Structure 1
Amino acid sequence: MHRMHNNNAPLHQQQRGFTLVEMAVVLVVIGLLLGGVLKGQELINSARVKNLVNDFRTTASHLHTYQDRFRSLPGDDPGAAAHLAGAITASTGGTVGNGRVDGNWNSTTATDESLLFWQHVRLANLAGGDGRNPGAEGMDVTTWLPRNAVGGRIGVTSTSPITGWGGSLFVCQDNISGRLAQQVDINMDDGLPNTGSVRLMANGSATSAAIAPADLNETALYTVCTSA
């Protein structure tokens, strides 16, 4: 007489758990995936830092090259319209021809020297971008202005953006996380947000006090400025 198989055996008798080897393999795979993600993010951040540093250096280079060629600063050039077809001479933000790029670094006033800096260097073929009059009808100044690798503004001014910081020319960029900002500072200067030729302030500010080292937050956003 054949014995009948018991298909009603308890569930725990029908199922088999993971062995230690299988669990170890799963953990190794998870570790490799996490390592790959972290490494990928590290490479992305490194590329962004390089782009931000390059923007600081090339912007300062635009100014010096323009000055060598035309004997005036872009934005402050009283003869811009004479040697650059379509160039606008600044009428606000300072005194034209005084050897300073006046106006806030993040100005959106189309007749300010600090904003027209970009039109002049573009028309001189020193920088890429739209060289048309930023104040023309239908123009959107916010999209006309240059952007950095993280979508923030890039700007130039001779007015010190940091309280008590001396200098004749400053290049600023905003929307930069504390982590990236610190790497930019380490790459270009001393790694401290309130000393040296690279300093940090509140994000998007025209002028502000420098951020103290103890207040630097890796995930917060900052404006980073260099003294060129």
Structure 2
Amino acid sequence: MKLTQQHQSGFTLVEIAIVLVIIGLLLGGVLKGQEMIENSRIKSVAADLRGVSAAYNSYVDRFHALPGDELLATMTARGWPATAAAGNANNVLNITPAQTFTNAGEQTGLWQALRAAGFTTGDPAATGVAALPKTGTGGLIGVTVAPYGLTGVAGCVSGLTTKQARGVDTIIDGTEANNLGDARGINGAANPLAPVAAAPAATAYNETTIVNTWTLCRSL
């Protein structure tokens, strides 16, 4: 009887090491890509707030009036829709913090005026929550007056994660201000979370312990 010797083939330690290195590089690339996407979203939110500020102040410079506060006759005289939401022309925007993400008060007219004047995109005739712009993170952009102890008209964004809120705060204030600078906000279970008038306490952006989303505002 002739006996034959069988050899089992398998991976060598060098081959296994090469495979592990390749897997590590792939995972590192995926994580790096996700981080870049997240950073891009954070920058887009800060840019959105700057854009609202630029549109609002450009409107004031051109028409010498607050968008949303003008009388209907004033707006229709420019050829804008007769269905525009008019204000009372008292040179004060009537938008409470609770109305920030409901598009109520004179905010409806504000967005219609900014769009009709060409300072922002969108349908000038749009009303309700659907008329509010959205950020690259999926949250809403709203305008209100004196939220979180800020003075004057402010732009707010909803639905930010703790990491995103930290990033936006850092971009706006130069360093992470923990709610004490120009960017201020709170976190809570509601989304969108309406801001309040009172200034928030200094709050560290702890991604481990804070799971609720943030609403962040800054003065225009």
TM-score, normalised relative to structure 2: 0.83
Shift of 1:107: 2.2
Q: Which residue of 2 aligns with 1:154?
A: 141
* Contact preservation (8 Å) 1:199, 1:224: yes
* Contact preservation (8 Å) 1:170, 1:227: yes
| From 45, 56, 64, the counterpart of 1:63 | 56
Q: Which residue of 1 aligns with 2:116?
A: 123
- Aligned-partner residue type, residue 192 of structure 2: G
Say yes or no: does 1:213 pair with 2:207: no
Q: Deviations over 1:87-139 (max 9, x none)?
A: 52436xxxx22323222221233xx21232111100001111011152xxxxx
Aligned residues: 206
Question: % of aligned pairs identical?
Answer: 36
Which one has a bigger Cα radius of gyration?
Answer: 1
- Aligned-partner residue type, residue 195 of structure 1: L
Write the distance in 2 (CA, Å) between the matches of 1:42 and 1:198.
23
Alignment of 1:1-228 (within 5 A): 3-5=2-4, 15-78=8-71, 79-86=74-81, 88-90=84-86, 96-103=88-95, 104-109=99-104, 112-134=105-127, 141-158=128-145, 160-162=146-148, 165-189=149-173, 190-202=175-187, 203-208=191-196, 210=200, 212-214=202-204, 216-217=206-207, 220-228=212-220
- Tell me the secondary structure at the aligned position of residue 223 of structure 1: strand
Shift of 1:15: 3.8
Write the distance in 2 (CA, Å) between the matches of 1:32 and 1:126.
45
Decide which moves more: 199-208 or 168-177. Answer: 199-208
Change (3 A) 1:132 1:192: same
RCO higher in 1 or 2 (8 Å CA, sep ≥ 6)? 2
TM-score, normalised relative to structure 1: 0.80
Change (3 A) 1:84 1:118: farther
Change (3 A) 1:214 1:102: same
Write the distance in 1 (CA, Å) between the matches of 2:79 and 2:92.
19
Change (3 A) 1:161 1:222: same
Structure 1 alignment gaps of length 5 or more = 7-12, 135-140
Q: Which residue of 2 aligns with 1:138?
A: none
Q: Deviations over 1:7-30 (max 9, x none)?
A: xxxxxx854553221221121111
* Contact preservation (8 Å) 2:178, 2:205: no
- Tell me the secondary structure at the aligned position of residue 150 of structure 1: coil
Q: Which residue of 2 aligns with 1:137?
A: none
Shift of 1:62: 0.8
